Amino acid sequence: MADAAIRTASQVLELPAPLPLDGGQSLSGVRAAYETYGTLNPDKSNAVIIFHALTGDQCVASPHPITGKPGWWVRMVGPGKPIDTDRLFVICANVLGGCYGSTGPASLAPDGQPYAMRFPVITIRDMVRAQVALLDALGIEQLHAVIGGSMGGMQALSFAANWPERTRAALVIASTARHSAQNIAFHEVGRQAIMADPKWKGGDYYGAKGPDNGLAVARMAAHITYLSEEGMHEKFGRKLQDRDAKTFGFDADFQVESYLRHQGLSFTDRFDANSYLYITRAMDYFDLAEEVSGGEGSGRLADAFRASKARFCLISFDTDWLYPTIESRTIAHALNAAGAPVSFVELSAPFGHDSFLLDVPALDRVIAGFLAQ
Amino acid sequence: MTALRPDLAVIAANVAPGSRVLDIGCGDGQLMAELRDRSGIDARGMELDPHGVADCVAKGLSVMQGDADTDLADYPDAAFDYAILSQTLQTTKRPDLVLDELLRVGRKAFVSFPNFAHWKVRASLLWNGRMPVTRLLPIAWYETPNIHHVTVRDFRELVVAKGYGIEGEWFLSGDKYIGPAAAAWRAEHAVFLLSR
Maximum CA extent, chain B: 49
Q: How far is CA B160 from CA A322, B109, B155, B163, B165, in A?
A: 48, 14, 9, 5, 7
pLDDT in tens, chain A (373 residues): 344 456 678 899 999 999 999 999 999 999 999 999 999 999 999 999 999 999 999 999 999 988 999 999 999 999 999 999 999 999 999 999 999 999 999 999 999 999 999 999 999 999 999 999 999 999 999 999 999 999 999 999 999 999 999 999 999 999 999 999 999 999 999 999 999 999 999 999 999 999 999 999 999 999 999 999 999 999 999 999 999 999 999 999 999 999 999 999 999 999 999 999 999 999 999 999 998 887 555 578 999 998 999 999 999 999 999 999 999 999 999 998 888 999 999 999 999 999 999 999 999 999 999 999 8
Cα separation, B22 vs A59, in Å, equals 41
Helix (H) or strand (E) holding B189: strand B189-195
- Which is it for strands A31-37 and A8-14: parallel, antiparallel or unpaired? antiparallel
Q: Is some CB atom of chain B closer than 8 A to the CB atom of A224? A: no
Q: Does A175 participate in catalysis according to the annotation?
A: no
Note whether residue B128 is domain-resident. no
Specify the pTM: 0.91
Residue B102 lies in domain: 6-116+146-195
On chain B, the residues whose CB falls within 8 A of the CB of A344 are 53, 63-66
First to last CA, chain A: 28
Asked if A332's CB is within 8 angstroms of B64's CB, the reply is yes
Alpha helices (H) in chain A, listed in sequence order: 124-138, 151-162, 181-196, 212-226, 229-236, 255-268, 273-285, 288-293, 325-337, 361-372
B57 touching A (Cβ < 8 Å):
yes
- Nearest one of A268, A204, A262 to A66, comparing CA atoms: A268
| Cα angle A21-A24-A25, degrees, rounded to a multiple of 5 | 70
- The Cα–Cα gap between A47 and A304 comes to 24
**B125 domain residue, yes or no:** no
Of B54, B75, B76, the CB nearest to A366: B54
pLDDT in tens, A116-174: 999 999 999 999 999 999 999 999 999 999 999 999 999 999 999 999 999 999 999 99
Q: pLDDT (tens digit, 9 = 90+) per residue, A161-214?
A: 999 999 999 999 999 999 999 999 999 999 999 999 999 999 999 999 999 999
Please tell me whether residue B76 adopts helix, strand or coil conformation.
coil
A336 part of contact set with chain B, CB < 8 Å:
yes
Residue B123 lies in a domain: no
Per-residue DSSP letter, B155: H
Give the best residue of B64, B80, B105 to mutate against chain A (max A CB count within 10 A). B64
**Residue by residue, what is the 3-state secondary structure of A237-276?**
CCCECCCCCCCCCCCCCEHHHHHHHHHHHHHHCCCCHHHH
Tell me the C-alpha distance between A101 and A14, whole Å.
Answer: 11
- Is A313 in CB contact (< 8 Å) with chain B? yes
What is d(CA B164, CA B142) in angstroms, rounded to the nearest whole number? 33
Q: Examine residue B105 and state whether it is found in any structural domain, yes or no.
A: yes
Contact A346, A356 (CB under 8 A): no
Three-state DSSP state, A58: coil
Count of beta carbons in the 10 Å neighbourhood of residue A48: 26
Count: domains in chain B: 1
Neighbours of B72 (CB within 10 A): 22
Q: What single string gives the DSSP state of each residue in A302-323?
A: GGGGTT---EEEEEEETT--SS
**B57 contacts A362? CB cut-off 8 A:** no
For A224, counting Cβ atoms within 10 Å of its Cβ (0-12 exposed, 13-18 middle, 19+ buried), the class is middle
Interface residue B74 vs chain A (CB under 8 A): yes
Q: How far is CA A94 from CA A32, A101, A146, A263, B29, in A?
A: 7, 7, 15, 22, 38
Q: Is residue B122 part of a domain?
A: no
CA–CA separation, B101 vs B120, rounded Å? 32
Tell me the CA distances in angstroms from A10 to A93, A247, B96, one per residue in order: 10, 49, 60
Contacts of B111 (CB under 8 A, 6+ apart): B85, B86, B89, B99, B102, B155, B191, B192, B194
Name the residue facing B58 among A332, A347, A365 (closest C-beta): A365
Residue B29 is assigned to a structural domain of this protein: yes
The interface predicted TM-score (ipTM) is: 0.84
Q: Are A169 and A313 in contact (CB under 8 A)?
A: yes
**Residue B24 belongs to domain with CATH number:** 3.40.50.150
Q: Which of B57, B64, B76 sits opposite A366 (nearest CB)?
A: B57
Cβ count within 10 A of residue A67: 11
CB-based contacts of B131, cutoff 8 Å, min separation 6: B124, B125, B140, B141
- The domains of chain A, with CATH numbers, are 2-179+288-372 (3.40.50.1820), 183-279 (1.10.1740.110)
pLDDT classification of B163: cutoffs 50, 70, 90: very high
> Helices H, strands E: what count in chain A?
10, 12
